[in-house]
Structure 1
Amino acid sequence: MGLLYFVSILAFWGVLLVKAEDAYKYYTWTVTYGRASPLGPSQQVILINGQFPGPRLDTVTNDNIILNLINKLDQPFLLTWNGIKQRKNCWQDGVLGTNCGIPPNSNFTYKFQTKDQIGSYTYFPSTLMHRAVGGFGALNVYARSVIPVPYAKPAGDFSLLIGDWYNTSHKALQQILDSGKPLPFPDGILINGQGRSIFNGDQGKTYMFRVSNIGLSTSFNFRIQDHKLKLVEVEGSHVLQNIYDSLDVHVGQTVTVLVTLDQSPHDYYIVASTRFTKTVLNVVALLRYTNSNGIAYGPIPAGPTGGVEWSMDQARSFRLTNNNNFGFNQLEPIKFSSQYKILVN
């Protein structure tokens, strides 16, 4: 009787453990060259599963990602998962030193867990100059149903991959750097691989905008005409929810804002413009209310007039909250290294 009871208890706990195991998600991505015309001229770009930018990778915290990457380029290739901590798993980080490049016509299977990292991230190529011509995409980690987040669920969720772009090929850019010269000034800015995008929403509802700087060298300022930006997360950490007219986003950085469509129903300009550059480049998209008449009124909203100090003061206002299950009530200021610099072109 005692042995039977003991075996029954083991079986019960075994069933619970199996049911409690975190989800596994399986992907196969093939990396190839293709053609696109982001700024007008046709040029060679890097596609993932035929897409430019690459597929949006939506996960839930604690998901186990099993991703088989097949390299069909003529060069070794690696992807890095920007901001994912890779606890005790650094060889999945996708950078030279912890990984070897995936040879042409070969594959590598990434295996990592998005452990307790609710937020907005990106992935991109980490070797040579592949990132200059694509191979990047959005990586979003959502909360499980049992984990609270400090804002109501938005009506929609947009990922904006914004960055400087060159009409020059990645191999030519590599030769420039190898010769000891700096990168030239970019030819333009793109949002999601395009010079013109449209984001649709309903009047009165609130939407999440995940804004990432996927470029190579240039910071940008992000703003939406006549709409306020409520900052809720920066690189996987929830923040004190300050309201901004515009936000500077630096290379490799991602910020998440909530935007309420509280204006009259028409189109509004979404603008990103380069910062700390003598020549200012702009890219314009549209926020379109579903009952819009399709017209955006007035001039494109101007960016901030302040320079590096303004940008640093804004960054210092991002106060992180403790990501836990107890009300997000602990505040911690961002600490800046004395080595932090912003380069001016």
Structure 2
Amino acid sequence: MEKLSMVTSLLCAITVAVLAVAVVGGEAAVVEHTFVVHEMNATHLCNTTKIYVVNGQFPGPTVDVTEGDTVVVHVINKLPFGLTIHWHGVRQMRSCWADGAGFVTECPIPPGNEHTYRFNVTGQVGTLWWHAHVTCLRATINGAFIVRPRDGKYPFPTPAKDVPIIIGEWWELDLIELDRRMMDGNFDDNPLSATINGKLGDLSNCSRMVEESFILDVKHGESYLLRVINTALFSEYYFRVAGHTFTVVGADGNYLTPFKTDMVTVAPGEAIDVIMVADAPPAHYHMIALANQPPEPDPQIPVFTSRGLVRYAGATANNNGLPVPMPIMPNQHNTMPSYYFHANLTGLAHPERHRVPMHVDERLFVTLGLGSICRGQNTTCKRRRSPETIVVATMNNVSFAHPKTTALLERYYDGTSKGVYTEDFPIRPPRPFNYTNRDLIPPGPLEEALEPTFKATKLKRFKYNTSVEIIFQSTTLMQSDSNPMHLHGYDVFLLAQGLGNFNAKRDVRKFNYHNPQLRNTVQVPRGGWAAIRFVTDNPGMWYLHCHFEFHIIMGMATAFIVEDGPTPETSLPPPPPEFKRCGNNGLSQP
């Protein structure tokens, strides 16, 4: 591993530099960070593994800002391959160039090079996050992005402390090799453990060496804002603390109507804010993060669990000689708690933003599933997961072909898109079928007729200020996973979710126009659907994809082009001075 220079080491130690460049009234500042991305070795479960991190931290440094601030992040890439950093959930109003979606808004930062991201954070309060957006690197290159209210006031009692709870995974397999395998249609590789704030927890051990647990120290009677973020590549997680309940107050940088629960469900890409009051007798209490998964005949994965500890001030080191309580968790194959958790969330009214468009200019019905393509140049091949095919992921039976040498936004802005992409993403599937028929899951044979598909870079263009409705329909084609769908550059109104096949005559009556959630990541339930609406008020090129990493790498993605509006204030500005265009820039990809 390359040793960091003295200057770089200093940058690693000083993770945050806040330039208090106040404007009138002291309402905003420039918050500046330096992210040095590098390799380092970490030892877990009796093995030393090379991982990729920012400033020597896993998870990476927290970006902590106040609504209205300008964020400046200098990224120094010391990896032997390119990467970008995506600011997950930041709206990037008229700053699409800073979105950080690899090969969509920019080409990756080449090895040994630097890049500066600069953007404002307006109209959002709560928890977002940041992560690498090339290959599987986000498994370890990630961190919290906290936006605090400008007036310092919350619509709930101010907590004594807020704590990021970053749920992730520990991979022993090199993440670049993992990416190569998934590109080849292989999703049989698995992490070794779940993690909470980078800790595997004391349920994981090797040769009697127990792994370290994340510990949350609390004082009796005080309340804590837990910012629960799922950075995992593969799994949705259940999160619980023995002897305690939560009040859900926000998600994805937006407030929610307070909702009491004893368990949080968080899908990859989601950020859920909850208040936990330390009102149990002072002692020790276990917290658990448990990955859920569909039952057979879906492909099965091991049980992934991380265990942490809530430790009260005044409790003895041995918990007064008593066993530490464990929370009772759902069966890992029971995905219904996820459905009910998400269905119970509603938005907290915000007059400036919670105005659901009541008319619809364009409607899309998008099916989400798997398919297959023939290997090599073959035009015919044996299906049903045979060695002759590559399994891919699809939207409306199209598997997205990601560019490898250019960025879509550049080509769109320059008017040089010919041969790079087409603007004919299908607004409905090519043929209807019973989308949630369990018999479509292998061993088949019903899926054989539906799985043939193709790779293409198909985009969808919208005029500025278009009201768009999308029905996402999860399918059981070759597997029955849920699908956490993330749209860059936008928050969307989640009007309703349901199980089974969407039926317009029946299900439109369920739409919530009064106080729907405003989300950037929508969990489309397993064997079900989700309905969203949004208005195209942010010009640029915006990536839409599932946040399961194997789904995105295998093609469950597209991009939306939003045209300029009628004025300079409603148009995408030129690339900023710090933006580095694609081309002869030493780009090197794994």
Q: TM-score, normalised by structure 1?
A: 0.87
Structure 1 residue corresponding to 2:174, chosen from 149, 159, 169: 169
C-alpha distance in structure 1 between counterparts of 2:32 and 2:272, whole Å: 27
Q: Superposition pairs for residues 51-200 of structure 1, below 5 Å?
A: 51-95=57-101, 96-132=103-139, 134-145=140-151, 148-195=153-200, 196-200=213-217
Residues 31 and 69 of structure 1 are in contact (CA less than 8 Å); yes or no, is this contact kept in structure 2? Answer: yes
Aligned: 1:207 with 2:224: yes
Aligned residues of 1:176 and 1:183 also touching (Cα < 8 A): no
Inter-partner Cα distance in structure 2 for 1:254 and 1:339: 12
> What's the offset of the Cα at 1:57?
0.9
Q: What's the counterpart of residue 317 of structure 1? A: 344
2:268 aligned to 240, 248, 251, which one? 251
Deviation at 1:98? 0.7
Q: C-alpha separation between the residues in 2 aligned to 1:120 and 1:40?
A: 34
Contact 1:39 1:188 in 2 (8 A): no
Whole-angstrom CA distance in 2 between matches of 1:166 and 1:243: 34
Structure 1 residue 248: Cα displacement? 1.2
- Farther-moved stretch of structure 1 (286-295 vs 135-144): 286-295
- Give the aligned residue type for 2:223: T
Tell me the amino acid that sits aligned with residue 283 of structure 2.
Answer: H
Moved more, 210-219 or 46-55: 46-55
1:342 aligned to which of 515, 526, 539? 526
Tell me the alpha carbon deviations over residues 64-121 of structure 1, each in whole angstroms, 9 at most, x when there is no partner: 0111111010000111011111011111110021111100111110001111210111
Partner of 2:328: 302
Give 1:338 deviation, angstroms.
Answer: 11
Q: Name the structure 2 match of 1:24.
A: 30
Does the CA-based 8 Å contact 1:237-1:323 persist in structure 2?
Answer: no
- Residue identity matched to 1:260: V
| Contact 2:285/2:310 (8 A) holds in 1 | yes
2:305 is equivalent to residue 282 of structure 1:
yes
What is the CA deviation profile of residues 24-76 of structure 1, one whole-angstrom value per residue up to 9, with x for unaligned ones? 12222211111112444211111212222211111110110111111010000
How many residue pairs align between the two structures? 325
Letter in 2 for 1:215: A
Query: Cα RMSD (Å) of the superposition?
Result: 2.7
**Comparing 236-245 and 271-280, the one that deviates more:** 271-280
Q: Secondary structure at the match of 2:182?
A: helix
Q: Distance in 2 between matches of 1:338 and 1:116?
A: 20
1:270 is aligned, of 287, 290, 303, to: 287
Change in CA separation of 1:203 and 1:87 when aligned onto 2, cut-off 3 Å: same
Distance 1:292 1:338 in 2: 40
2:254 matched to 1:234? no
1:267–1:302 Cα change, 3 Å: same
Aligned residues of 1:270 and 1:287 also touching (Cα < 8 A):
yes
**Does structure 1 retain, via aligned residues, the 8 Å contact 2:243–2:325?**
no
In the aligned structure 2, how far is the partner of 1:57 from the partner of 1:32?
Answer: 19
Structure 1 residue aligned with 2:40: 34
What is the distance in 1 between the residues matched to 2:25 and 2:345?
39
Relative to structure 1, the CA distance from residue 339 to residue 322 in structure 2 (aligned partners, 3 Å threshold; closer, same or farther) is closer
Structure 2 unpaired stretches of 5+? 1-21, 201-212, 295-299, 354-512, 528-547, 551-590
CA distance, structure 2, for counterparts of residue 184 and residue 218 of structure 1:
13
Q: For 2:132 and 2:181, how far apart are their aligned partners in 1? A: 19
CA distance 1:86–1:325, shift in 2 (3 Å): closer
Question: 46-55 or 92-101: which moved more?
Answer: 46-55
The answer for the alignment partner of 2:583 in structure 1 is none
Q: Relative to 1, partners in 2 of residues 1:115 and 1:35: Cα closer, same or farther, differing over 3 Å?
A: same
CA spacing shift, 1:66–1:17, aligned 2, 3 Å: closer
Would you say the 8 A contact 1:48–1:135 is kept in 2?
yes
Q: Is 1:125–1:131's contact at 8 Å kept on the other side of the alignment?
A: yes
- Separation in 2, partners of 1:141, 1:26: 14
- Cα distance, 1:335 vs structure 2: 8.9
Q: Which amino acid aligns with 2:175?
A: H
Q: 257-266 or 47-56, which moves further after superposition?
A: 47-56
Work out which of the two has the higher radius of gyration on C-alpha atoms and give 1 or 2: 2
- Paired residues of 2:244 and 2:262 also in contact (CA < 8 A): yes
Range moving further from structure 2, 170-179 or 21-30: 21-30
**Following TM superposition, by how much is the alpha carbon of 1:18 offset from its aligned partner in structure 2, in angstroms?**
4.8
SS in 2 for 1:255: strand
CA distance in 2, matches of 1:40, 1:190: 16
Q: CA offsets per residue over residues 273-316 of structure 1, 9 Å max, x none?
A: 11125543211000111111132735522213483333212201
Letter in 1 for 2:307: V
Report the Cα distance in structure 2 between the residues aligned to 1:311 and 1:121, rounded to whole angstroms. Answer: 20
Cα distance, 1:169 vs. partner? 0.6
Q: Which residue of 1 aligns with 2:49?
A: 43
SS of 2:75 mapped into structure 1: strand
